[in-house]
Amino acid sequence: MGTISSAFSSMSQALDADQSALNIVANNVANANTPGYTEETPNWQENQPLVIDGVSYGAGVAETGPTSIRDSVLNQRLDQQQQLASASTARLAALNTVQALFTPDSGSSASTAGDIGSDLTSFFNSFSSLEANPADSSLREEVLSSAGILAGDISNAAASLDTQQSALDQEAAGVASQVNALTGSLAQLNQQIESTSPDADAGTLQDQRQQDLSQLSQLIGVNQVTTQDNGLSITTTSGQLLVSGNENFQLTTGSVGGATHFFVGTTDITSQLASGGGQLGGYLTARDVDIPSVLGSLDQLAYGVSTQVNDLNNTGTDLDGNTGNASNPDASPLYIFNQPTQVAGSAAAMSVVMTDPNQIAAAAGPTANDPNPGTGDNSNAVAIAKLASTAIVNGQLPSEFYSNLVTTLGSTVSAVQTENTAQNASVTQLQTQNNSLSEVNLNDEASAMTMLERSYQAASQVFTMLNTIMASALNLGEQATVS
């Protein structure tokens, strides 16, 4: 009798186990679209066998609860790749806005920063034209008007870059509060996980922690270290502690030299964050590296052209026979452009200060042999026009320098684009791997449900048969009293 009873017991346990497994399947299906939910699988465990008269009998099955199907290494790789991809996406967006300023000139006459190359040529060409007739007032007007277009395009480009830089600064500052919210939530989850499930997977709590970590990875570059009791310490990629156990360290912002800097405590971690990854890394790289580099080149261009043209004009003689302060200390300088005192800021400040076209010094300055070169002399115009083919900007010709500027900018954008495409592809690949492992697959759930249903039916059937057998055993030798 003992063994039939134990068979009964095995079957009732099997029915319980199947029900509990069906519950897990139902929960999977219910959470199929919950972000961050990790598919759970029932754990089956064979019960301790019964030993009756020295013979061992199987004692059925137990379902010991769900286990989340997760691969923490895969998750970590996905997070890291996400940090890289987010950084290059944010940087690319900023760079695309920058390069939109320098749309290649197709030769049309519209005045934009992309035309700076043409503006330079037109400006120096206006001096070449002046060679033909240095006293002609319309040619002189042309010099000032082309100087105005050149200065306008350069200073507008500098102003736009400045605006973009401030916009990036604001976006970057906005990231800090999101980071703090996430690190706060992570610290809280750490505490719950450590208290409820120090030794095993914490299921949905761990799902939430992973979800927060994925979001954090989109914002900044982080490293994660698993600690005792299933806790997680989180640092920036350069090692600054953000979350330790149930404690989180706030990211604060402050203005340093007009730009937003980021601190943990009193430590300035701005440059670490810039190279660390995540959206913030991208914003900071664009703000602190990419835009300053373009702006710096424009400054060099503006400085080189303004000072060289001004210096030459100041040494010559204008149409009214006046000279600048190069040869006459009492005179005012004959400057065409606002004379910059230093390279930085030259582009933004570039403007035409000369209003009277007669002040353009087409004639050479006075010399001992020729104290008055006359209004027909064009030698200074020749000299200024020649600046177009002189290495006056950082050792390069002005047009060559601008050509290099656009090539360098274009190459940077193109390189970041390629990098971003590759990183996104890698994220997609890892995401696919992770999804195929951890995401709820409804077809799998349907088949699991069918299998569990079948196994439940089988157990019921066995139970019924056992019932019949039991009845036979009870009625042994008797006329059917029990059915």
Which residues from 382-441 bind another protein, rule CB under 8 A? 382, 385-386, 388-389, 399-400, 402-404, 406-411, 413-414, 417, 428, 431-433, 435-437, 439-441
Which tokens go with 421? Answer: 């495409």
Q: Is 37 in the site for another protein (CB under 8 A)?
A: no
Letters for 93-122 (x = contact with another protein by CB under 8 A, - = none) are --xx--xx-xxxxxx---------xx-xxx
Q: Is 376 in the site for another protein (CB under 8 A)?
A: yes
Under rule CB under 8 A, which residues in 335-364 are in contact with another protein? 363
Q: Which residue, 372 or 472, has its beta carbon nearer to another protein?
A: 372
- Distance of closest approach, residue 214 Cβ to another protein, in angstroms: 15
Q: Of 159, 226, 370, 451, which one interacts with another protein (CB under 8 A)?
A: 370
Letters for 126-165 (x = contact with another protein by CB under 8 A, - = none) are --xx-xxxxxx-----------------------------
- Distance of closest approach, residue 400 Cβ to another protein, in angstroms: 7
Q: Are 229 and 194 in contact (CB under 8 A)?
A: yes
Q: Which residue, 228 or 436, has its beta carbon nearer to another protein?
A: 436
Under rule CB under 8 A, which residues in 441-480 are in contact with another protein? 441-447, 449-450
Q: Which residue, 308 or 375, has its beta carbon nearer to another protein?
A: 375
Q: Of 48, 332, 372, 472, which one interacts with another protein (CB under 8 A)?
A: 372
- Distance of closest approach, residue 193 Cβ to another protein, in angstroms: 24
Q: Which residue, 243 or 360, has its beta carbon nearer to another protein?
A: 360
Q: Of 211, 223, 248, 378, which one interacts with another protein (CB under 8 A)?
A: 378
- Distance of closest approach, residue 209 Cβ to another protein, in angstroms: 21
**Size of the residue set binding another protein (CB under 8 A):** 74
- Distance of closest approach, residue 283 Cβ to another protein, in angstroms: 19
Placement of tokens 């100087």 in the chain: 147
Q: Is 31 in the site for another protein (CB under 8 A)?
A: no
Q: Of 15, 50, 59, 69, which one interacts with another protein (CB under 8 A)?
A: 69
- Distance of closest approach, residue 463 Cβ to another protein, in angstroms: 24
Under rule CB under 8 A, which residues in 213-252 are in contact with another protein? none
